[in-house]
Amino acid sequence: MDITIILNGKKVQDQIEPDMALLDFVREHGCYSVKRGCESSNCGLCTVLMDEVPVLSCSVLAARADGHRVDTLEGLQEEAEEFVGFIADQGADQCGFCNPGFVMNTIALLRENPDPTDDEIRAFLAGNLCRCSGYEGQLRGIRSFLNSRKEEK
């Protein structure tokens, strides 16, 4: 079947098998930040934004994305650069494997709620599995970023 997706701002047309996961589609088109983890919608490593909403690409068929906009970390580097250093400063990127999922969900969170509480941050990032850091580093990094933005104003 033929599908057309706006992937990171570029129109991508391709022929796919009806059962192809969106995860496989974006990786076949060079978006290697989208990672295969649990393949059961439990780890958040495969998070992408579809029409600006975070979705787990391992559990979405590529055919469902036909006609939609899909953004991966490759297309959101500039926006991500604003805060990833704050997360790294807190030691929350130990192995780095989970970082793209955390970054994608943080971008979605900050677009939806530019001044979240700590509980709102925790709730938004709850679907991301990290085996290294214990999650508090990510929270401290995001909080530090938000505080720095307030200081700039």
Tens of pLDDT, residues 69-108: 999 999 999 988 888 888 888 776 677 777 888 889 999 9
Beta bridge mates, 55: 48
Query: In the prediction, which pLDDT does 32 show?
Result: 96
End-to-end alpha-carbon separation of the chain, Å? 50
Average pLDDT along the chain: 90
User: Could you check whether 2-75 and 77-152 share the same CATH topology?
Assistant: no
**CB distance 104 to 46 below 8 Å:** no
The superfamily in CATH containing domain 77-152 is: [2Fe-2S]-binding domain (1.10.150.120)
Query: In the prediction, which pLDDT does 93 show?
Result: 67
Cα torsion through 49, 55, 61, 63, rounded to 10: -40
pTM confidence score:
0.89
Query: In the prediction, which pLDDT does 151 show?
Result: 83
Domain limits, the chain: 2-75, 77-152
Query: In the prediction, which pLDDT does 53 show?
Result: 95
The superfamily in CATH containing domain 2-75 is: Beta-grasp domain (3.10.20.30)
